[in-house]
Copies of this chain bind each other. A is one copy, B any other.
Amino acid sequence: MTYVKPTQVVENMVQTGAAKASLSIWQMLLRGFIAGAILAYATTLAFTATSQTGLGIVGAIIFPVGFVMIILLGFELVTGSFALIPLAVLEKKATVVQMISNFFWVIVGHVLGCLFYAVLYYATTTNMGHVDDSVLATMIAGIAESKTLSYSALGASGLLLVFIKAILCNWMVTLGAVLPMTTQSTLGKIVAMWLPIMAFFAQGFEHAVVNMFVIPAGMMFGADVTVGDWWLWNQIPVLLGNLVGGFTMTGLFLYLAHLKKGSTLPVTSNEKTAMAAVNAK
């Protein structure tokens, strides 16, 4: 019997959030760095698949490869944590300061990891700078412009638009962090998390960590985007939208739908502890 019931899933979410909140800065940086780099790797894999087939859906089907590796190996993904640590705070198992600290240091790790991969990928795609019109370079530069300039062209409503797309994205990303908790089987986890990740990527919604790679990489490949454009028209509103979407649509809905109101979570079974401990040292 590998199936785990929803009420227990919610308890595991709180435990996992608490464990994440208690990581050291060093761990958050390291795990955030490698997670960012792996997600960037999977992004270029997806772009390769889309570019070869001309079908975005093929890229989306292959993209979760990176997410799966991050979750199975216990690295930190801030977008996933957006649904978990706030619940731990709600249940008094973590403090707001711990939560913000986790978000901050993991994001720093993500940015560094994404830039690290972007530099290496730039080198390989351009043959050390000698070729600048490869299909993928052009594709990534175009996406970077689309993910910033198309919003700034709309002004304030562009900010709202990117915010909405970030909500729709991270609702699914956080389900991708929660669904593997419905099973104790590794293969079951892989398949369960695959589904929502594919769902958001296929529809082109906005994921903060993917963008930490795509936009600066696009800038290297010649996109007409400034660092200000990147953060103002994309990175900041996307992080906020990811937080709102992940916390409300996944964290809060599951919490309210499956837990007794007003009660502090009982921590009883070994299983829960084991699951929660996965991402803690």
Contacts and interface: CB of A to CB of B under 8 A. Distances in A.
A183 B78 CA distance: 25
Copies of this protein in the complex: 5
Nearest to A260: B281
B45 A199 contact: yes
A164 interface: yes
Contacts of A186: 2-4, 182-183, 185, 188, 192
Given A45-B202, A57-B53, A57-B58, A3 B195 contact: no
Contact of A203 (B48, B203, B205, B259): B48
A187 B184 contact: no
Size class of the contact patch on chain A? 35 or more
Interface string A212-250: 000000000000000000000000000000000000010
Contact of A202 (B33, B37, B49, B277): B49
Contact of A165 (B73, B74, B75, B124): B124
B167 A120 contact: yes
Among A2, A33, A127: residue with most chain B CB under 10 A? A2
B48 A202 contact: yes
A195 B68 contact: yes
A194 to B, nearest CB: 9
Q: Considering the complex of A and B, which 5 residue pairs feature the smallest CB-CB distances, nearest first? A: A183-B186, A6-B74, A187-B188, A1-B184, A186-B188
A248 to B, nearest CB: 10
A257 B27 contact: yes
A48 B74 CA distance: 32
A49 B45 contact: no
A9 to B, nearest CB: 7
Interface string A25-53: 01100110110010001101100110011
A96 interface: no
